[in-house]
């Protein structure tokens, strides 16, 4: 699941870069688009914030998956040691 969140974060960051680039383009090159540069910068800011948030959620879910996997392995090892000690 964390891989999907990393992909989402990367695509949002790409769109944020495109939106930030659009704020630098003069309004004559944008015939049907909003010409207000502050609107593009605001959209870029929100996209960057969403990208950072989804990356944070991806990192946290990856860490929790790793902790869960390691605790499961430790439980299996402990169970194996108990059974090995009882049946020599």
Instruction: Locate 36 and state its tokens.
Output: 């207000």
Number of structural domains found in the chain: 1
Range(s) of the domain holding residue 78: 2-86
> Which of 8, 6, 17 has the alpha carbon at shortest distance from 43?
17
For residue 67, what pLDDT band results from cuts at 50, 70 and 90? very high
Q: Is the pTM of this model over 0.85?
A: no
Residue 81 CB neighbour total at 10 angstroms = 10
For residue 52, what pLDDT band results from cuts at 50, 70 and 90? very high
Spatial CB neighbours of 37, under 8 Å, sequence gap ≥ 6: 23, 24
Give the N- to C-terminal CA distance of the chain in Å, as an integer: 42
Instruction: Locate 16 and state its tokens.
Output: 């944020």
């Amino acid at each position: 699941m964390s891989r999907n969140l990393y992909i989402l974060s990367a695509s949002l960051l790409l769109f944020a870069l495109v939106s930030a680039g659009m704020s630098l383009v003069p309004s004559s090159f944008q015939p049907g688009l909003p010409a207000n540069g502050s609107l593009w910068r605001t959209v870029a800011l929100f996209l960057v914030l969403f990208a950072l948030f989804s990356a944070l959620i991806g990192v946290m879910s990856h860490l929790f998956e790793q902790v869960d996997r390691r605790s499961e392995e430790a439980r299996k090892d402990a169970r194996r040691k108990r059974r090995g000690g009882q049946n020599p």
